[in-house]
Amino acid sequence: MNESTNSAARSFFDFTDATASVLDLLEKQLPDCAVFVAYHDSDAELLRIVDFRGEPQFGISNGQTMPLLPGTVVSGAPVDPAPAILANPIVRDVRSFIGIPLLLNDGEHFGTLCAISNVGDRFARNDVELLTVLGRVIVNELDREVMQQQMQQRHDDLVRHNRRLRVDAFTDALTGVANRRGFERALAREWKLSRRGTVPSFLTLVDLDEFKAVNDRYGHAAGDEMLRLCAQALKAAGRETDVIGRIGGDEFAAILVGCTTAEEAQIFATRASEHLEELLHESEAKVTFSAGSQGLADSPSPLRAMELADQAMYWHKRNRNGGSPRGTALASKIKGGAKAPRQAAPNRAPARIPAKAMAAARRDGSATGINSSSDSPADNSVARAQPPVGDDALIDAASRKPAPIRNPRG
């Protein structure tokens, strides 16, 4: 049975108003007869009696099933229900029979509109014409129901497809976390909420050290596995409300929604390091990662928050003395491979941070880092009195429900 027939059957068994009205009318026009629909279940080779209207003397009841006789099912042709009904031993006193095929617009034979009587030669030509017209009404109703269901199905498929496209547009295909575009949209939203005082949040940037050595020594497949496991570790360290993203190459970022202090951000980074170490405990290629954070409420724009967190991250990369989070190891897929040579973490090229941003950072000393020490950048935040800077990437966050203020991480 094809999909349209199944849809029609479901619609018909719901007893639509039009179908019930047709049988009500036939019951009045043929008061001394019984009227019903014989639905043809071709897969089971059965007739199913639907909405029987008449006296029980005929031995037929609503919902009854009758096997089709051999030879009465012809592929592509309407099924004649008369032999199955009249030859059934439980059927009694049927001396006159009319059956009008119910053919859907796609040519599928759905069933038969039937009228029976215990009087011989009961039905005249006008009775046949009446059943033919009313059968057409039932078919039109069924086709309408089928069309509505098909349109709804197409609409649902389109909605799912568009949702999938939106997810793909904002998701990193390799790691499954947000890509840069998706992360920047989330950052703009959370920055707005933080600046309003609705939900405080921190931005943490993570950069894998010596990642190039892993790629060079063990190949890009091993490097890809490292990126996937790093994303997994960051998600495991965060909460459901946190946003994890891969913003380029071996750089990741996290928006810690509800995080109020740099100490909480440090706990997140430490947890991520521990999770990564657990995932890669049998690794041969050694890597570390550096992390830096910045409060969104203390940043005049999302872009500025990224710059300040980036400065904090690279300060710790250059001045790490055992205090910053360190990850370990990517398991080599090459059995017996030697350990990758440890290389010094490269300094960030001067062009990475715009000159104006660097000058502003030196002037206000607003970068907030993880595991700060006496020789770290100043921890003074950008004054809240500074007006927010406009950003084309901002999205409307009016409909977002505020997240609860989190308890201290740890």
Q: Counting beta carbons within 10 angstroms of the beta carbon of residue 255, is it exposed (0 to 12), middle (13 to 18) or buried (19 or more)?
A: buried
Identify which of 291, 295, 296 has the alpha carbon closest to the alpha carbon of residue 314. Answer: 291
- φ, ψ of residue 207 to 5 degrees: the values are -130, 130
CA 32/CA 122 separation, integer angstroms: 10
Yes or no: say if 61 and 26 are a contact pair by the CB < 8 Å rule.
no
Structure tokens at 174: 């390799």
Quick one: DSSP state of residue 178? B
Region(s) of the chain under CATH 3.30.450.40: 3-158
From residue 58, how far is each of 98, 209, 293, 400 by CA, in Å?
15, 86, 84, 65
Region(s) of the chain under CATH 3.30.70.270: 172-369
CA 206/CA 291 separation, integer angstroms: 4
Identify which of 209, 208, 207 has the alpha carbon closest to the alpha carbon of residue 344. Answer: 209
Q: How far is CA 180 from the centre of its chain?
A: 20
What would the DSSP string read from start to end of 105-153? TTS-EEEEEEEEESSTT---HHHHHHHHHHHHHHHHHHHHHHHHHHHHH
Taking the alpha carbons of 351, 353, 355, 356 in that order, is the dihedral positive or negative?
A: positive
Please state which of the four CATH numbers 3.30.450.40, 3.30.565.10, 3.30.365.10, 3.40.1360.10 is assigned to the domain occupying 3-158: 3.30.450.40
Residue 253 three-state SS: strand
DSSP β-ladder status, 201-209 and 109-117: unpaired
Yes or no: say if 60 and 52 are a contact pair by the CB < 8 Å rule.
yes
Length of the chain: 410
Q: In angstroms, how far apart are the furthest CA atoms of the chain?
A: 110
**pLDDT in tens for each of the 410 residues of the chain?**
444 444 444 444 454 566 778 888 888 999 899 999 888 877 777 888 888 888 888 988 888 888 876 655 555 566 677 877 888 888 888 999 998 888 877 777 788 899 999 999 999 999 999 999 998 888 888 778 777 877 888 888 888 888 877 777 889 999 999 999 999 999 999 999 999 998 999 999 999 888 888 888 888 888 898 899 999 999 999 999 999 999 999 999 999 999 999 999 999 999 998 898 888 887 776 677 889 999 999 999 999 999 999 999 988 888 764 444 443 333 222 223 333 333 333 443 333 444 444 454 444 444 333 333 333 333 333 333 333 333 333 333 333 444 444 555 54
CATH architecture observed for domain 172-369: 2-Layer Sandwich (3.30)
pLDDT score recorded for residue 259? 94
CA 355/CA 361 separation, integer angstroms: 10
Taking the alpha carbons of 367, 236, 289, 188 in that order, is the dihedral positive or negative?
A: negative
